[in-house]
């Protein structure tokens, strides 16, 4: 499900609109007691303690897989101190809606990203969005190289959002992650023919017309030159 940047920059407060939602339970793997997660989510829903901002964060993580504390602050609390974002993320983590991913500190320093906490959806967060969690979703954030790859991918999105904010209300950016951006040649295919990391679409309203710029994003790291057919990216291009 693609995510679209908001035109209005969020304010400093931590109070968001309350969301009322019917929660349906599902089975999922993991060591956390599933009944405890069900009870925790049911209580949060009953009390209206999941805000619009929280749900937007879950949608971000659905498409981006991980976000650093710095990236979350820039997206959802751009005018607030980092502690504001941290405190809310800590609360959501305690409720099993978020989980902590590995922090690839050396790689983050190398790419100029602040090395801090990294968050992914927790089991409760996946249930909130999909009502279904499989083992690959539950363990994806555990791989260090994947975390760094996804953080760099997320940084591109965050910078695009920040750029559209500075250009005014007529600009917006939509973003689809790998699953939503994958191309299947036929409805019968089990695996996609092309699976870029992301699809970004920048839009500008020009009177009664809309200017649209779509482009795919692929972050690839390998020992071979991208132009060689044997490289991962080379195979994708030829495909």
pLDDT at 12 over 50: no
pLDDT tens string 19-75: 333 333 333 345 566 677 777 777 787 777 888 899 999 999 999 999 999 999 999
Separation between Cα atoms, residue 118 and residue 77, nearest integer Å:
16
**Mean pLDDT lowest for which of 6-20, 75-89, 118-132?**
6-20
155-161 mean pLDDT? 95
pLDDT value, residue 194: 81
pLDDT at 118 over 50: yes
Identify the CA nearest to 162 among candidates 10, 2, 1: 10
pLDDT tens string 124-156: 888 777 655 555 555 555 677 889 999 999 999
What residue ranges in the chain does DSSP mark as E strands? 3-4, 67-68, 98-101, 118-121, 171-176, 198-206, 209-217
- Alpha-carbon Rg for the chain, nearest whole angstrom, is 19
Domain boundaries, the chain: 3-238
201-227 mean pLDDT? 82
100-116 mean pLDDT? 92
Phi, psi angle pair for 9, to nearest 5°: -70, 130
With tokens 């363990």, the residue in question is 139
């Amino acid at each position: 499900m693609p995510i679209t940047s908001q035109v209005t920059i969020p304010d400093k407060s931590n109070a968001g609109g309350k969301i009322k939602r019917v929660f349906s339970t599902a089975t999922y793997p993991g060591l956390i007691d599933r009944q405890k997660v069900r009870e925790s989510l049911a209580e949060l829903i009953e009390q209206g303690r999941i805000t619009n901002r929280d749900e937007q964060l879950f949608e971000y993580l659905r498409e981006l897989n991980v976000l650093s504390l710095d990236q979350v602050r820039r997206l959802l609390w751009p005018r607030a101190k980092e502690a504001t974002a941290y405190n809310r993320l800590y609360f959501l983590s305690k409720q099993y809606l978020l989980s902590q991913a590995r922090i690839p500190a050396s790689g983050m320093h190398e790419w100029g990203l602040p090395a801090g906490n990294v968050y992914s959806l927790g089991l409760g967060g996946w249930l909130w969005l999909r009502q279904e969690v499989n083992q690959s979703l539950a363990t994806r954030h555990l791989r260090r190289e994947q975390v760094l790859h996804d953080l760099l991918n997320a940084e591109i999105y965050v910078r695009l959002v920040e750029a559209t904010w500075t250009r005014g209300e007529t600009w917006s950016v939509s973003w689809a992650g790998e699953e939503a951006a994958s191309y299947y040649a036929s409805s019968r295919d089990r695996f996609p023919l092309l699976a870029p990391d992301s699809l970004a679409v920048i839009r500008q309203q020009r009177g009664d017309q809309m200017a649209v710029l779509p482009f795919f994003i692929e972050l690839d790291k390998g020992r071979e030159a991208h132009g060689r057919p044997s490289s991962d990216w080379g195979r994708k291009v030829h495909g």
